[in-house]
Structures are given as C-alpha cells and as structure tokens.
Amino acid sequence: MDLTNDEITKMYFYENRLLTFVGWPFEEECACTPENMAKAGFIHTPSGNSPDIAQCFFCLKELEGWEPEDDPEKEHKTHSNCNFITLKKPVEDLSVEEFLRLEKERKKFLIKKNCKQAIDKFEEAVKLKRGQIIQTAMGEE
C-alpha cells in the first residue's frame, strides 16, 4: 500500500489543500483566506451555484455560506468532532503509528458518511414504495 500516492493522503499536507482553493471568493483582508482554510483542513469543493463550499478532507464536513470574518479553525471545531483539526503537532512530525491511527479515524468518517448515504437512499426508496402501495390500495377501494 503506497500512502504517498493516494489522492486523499496527499490532502494531509497543507500545500496540497491550498492548491484546491482556485476561485475561492475570499482572498485578502478576510479571516477565511485560502491559507487559513487550508490550515484548518479544508479543501475547496465548489458547485455551480455555491462557489464557497469547503469540505474537511478528513472528517468530510462540508460548510458553505462563509462570511469574510469567519474563522475556519473555529468553524471547523464548532461543526465537527474532527481528529485532524485537534492535532497537537504537524502531520510531518507524526510517527508512522500516529499517522496510521489518524488514518484509521479518517476511514471511520468515510464509512459513516457512506452508511448515512445508503440509509438515506433506502429511506427514500421506502417512502416512494409506500406511496405506490397507498395509491394502489386507494385505487382498489
């Protein structure tokens, strides 16, 4: 397993996160500059009508609606229980064991997100099927 070539693993490093902030609407004289966003673990994940969506590469928390005075680190800590934002030392100074333990926690966030998406999809299908059953039952009365 080559962890250095994995796209997500690259995001552990500030410089790579910073590179994602092309077109970020807050550049200068703001608390949420690309530099501060990247330091707080965020990557820029804009959509067509939301140019200010940022997602933590680690805990996958997405935040949008940024204001110039928003502090990325504070916002991240407020909205997520993220292991990356609470690191006490730079990624470069982690031992292999510490890094692998951290990566295990990141995988847990990914599994939780995937499970939630699957549950949401299932519940939507159930809702649709329930509606069809009710329509069928009403039509037969």
pLDDT in tens, the chain (141 residues): 444 457 778 999 999 999 999 999 998 889 999 999 999 999 999 988 888 999 999 999 999 999 999 999 999 999 999 999 999 898 899 999 999 999 999 999 999 999 999 999 999 999 999 999 999 988 765
Model-level pTM? 0.79
Domains of the chain in sequence order: 7-140 (1.10.1170.10)
Residue from 50, 45, 52 nearest 11 by CA: 45
Q: Measured between alpha carbons, how far is 104 from 97 in angstroms, rounded to an integer?
A: 11
Q: Measured between alpha carbons, how far is 76 from 120 in angstroms, rounded to an integer?
A: 24
H or E stretch covering 137: helix 96-140
Burial class (CB in 10 A: 0-12, 13-18, 19+), 54: buried
